[in-house]
Amino acid sequence: MVPTEVLIAEEKPSILVVDDLLPNLELLEAIFTRNGFVVFTALDAYSAIEIFQTQRVDIAVLDVMMPGIDGYELCKTIKEMNEKQFFPVILLTALIDKQSKIIGLESGADDFISKPFDTEELITKVKSLLRLKSLQDDLEHSENVILTLAVAMESRDPYTRGHSTRVGDISKSFAAFLGFGGRVQQQLRKAGILHDIGKIGLSSTLLCKEGNLTEEEFGEIRRHTLIGEEICRPLVSMRDSLPAIRNHHERWDGNGFPDGLRGERIPLHARILSIADSFDAMVSQRPYREGRSVMTALEVLRFERNDGQWDPVLTSQFLEMMQVTGLQRMVNA
């Protein structure tokens, strides 16, 4: 039998309940306490925000009809305070019309419970959203580990330190210039940071070799795109970034690797990443050459945009972005 002093109690989930009517608040507190929750209660939005800022809260149940800041606005505020992390919010409302639900969805609510509510339904929905939050937290942790690993891997080589982070930032800016939304911009930023993660499987001697590579050594280096794809494949959140990681060394003329794709058969994200990667590689110092100036690198892109390495239309748009946005000043900073 395990001694009681070495047993670690499972941490209870915590819930924030907000309702301006004290009897309703006490009822909800009793229900959630009976079901094993740590319960925080607030009679108004201001108290709720203070609790949210000072306590660990896993989920919130908010009454919609409150004086001052209503449940919709409070939901929106809590979501914004939690920034990019998933935080589930359920709205309790007697309003069942379509427009009210639309307003709730626009405020960021994850679910609705109609008053008078069924206790079993309420608990089931809360537990379901907590399971989703747990999965999201695990995915985010795994993703952050891999992103950190990519940055740490580069730090061992002074010639590549910061390269992937810069490629990620340039790719994100390029995606924004092309008119893509925030989701695609973040996908390309992650792909940029992770595009060389597969090199973690290669020896430092090979990566830092100053002389010409043998055919066998070059073949080994080419494998980094496939290794990188395999490292990131288990993460659902990275699924949309995989084609860019795998195919960022493809060429417009079909002479790239690993799949020898040509033209528009190359995934669009990979074509965008390829230009950002090439540009930063040109302005970065390497063991075998000095880094070029930003203006020189842009001239290379301008004169070689039709030579078969990059998508010529995207290359022209990249050059336009650099001129219009002054991104070259950011690169030099």
On whether the CB atoms of residues 253 and 262 are closer than 8 A, the answer is yes
The residues, ordered by sequence, that sit 6+ positions from 132 with a Cβ below 8 Å of its Cβ are 86, 88
Please state at what angle helix 182-194 crosses helix 224-232, rounded to 10 degrees.
130
The residues, ordered by sequence, that sit 6+ positions from 208 with a Cβ below 8 Å of its Cβ are 157, 159, 287
Residue 101: C-alpha distances to residues 47, 64, 123, 230, 320 (Å): 25, 11, 20, 41, 43
- pLDDT tens digits in sequence order for the chain, 333 residues long: 333 333 333 478 999 999 999 999 999 999 999 999 999 999 999 999 999 999 989 999 999 989 889 989 999 999 888 866 788 999 988 766 667 777 777 888 888 888 888 899 899 999 988 888 876 776 566 667 677 767 666 655 555 667 888 999 999 999 999 999 988 998 999 899 989 888 887 766 776 677 777 888 888 888 999 998 988 887 777 888 999 999 999 999 999 999 999 999 999 999 999 999 999 999 886 655 566 888 899 999 999 999 999 999 999 999 999 988 765 544 544
Q: Which of these, 70, 66, 62, lies nearest to 90 by C-alpha position? A: 62
3-state secondary structure of 41: strand
Decide the pairing of beta strands 59-63 and 89-93. parallel
Residue 82: C-alpha distances to residues 56, 59, 97, 274, 294 (Å): 12, 11, 28, 34, 38
For residue 286 the two structure tokens come to 């390497």
pTM of the model: 0.60
Domains, the chain, with CATH or none? 4-135 (3.40.50.2300), 156-332 (1.10.3210.10)
Give bridge partners of residue 17 from the DSSP assignment: 41, 61
* DSSP element (H, E) containing 17: strand 14-18
The residues, ordered by sequence, that sit 6+ positions from 99 with a Cβ below 8 Å of its Cβ are none
Amino acid (one-letter) located at 240 = D
Position 216 scores a pLDDT of 85
User: In this structure, what DSSP letter does residue 68 have?
Assistant: S
Dist. CA 32–CA 61, nearest whole Å:
11
On whether the CB atoms of residues 199 and 207 are closer than 8 A, the answer is yes
Position 168 scores a pLDDT of 92
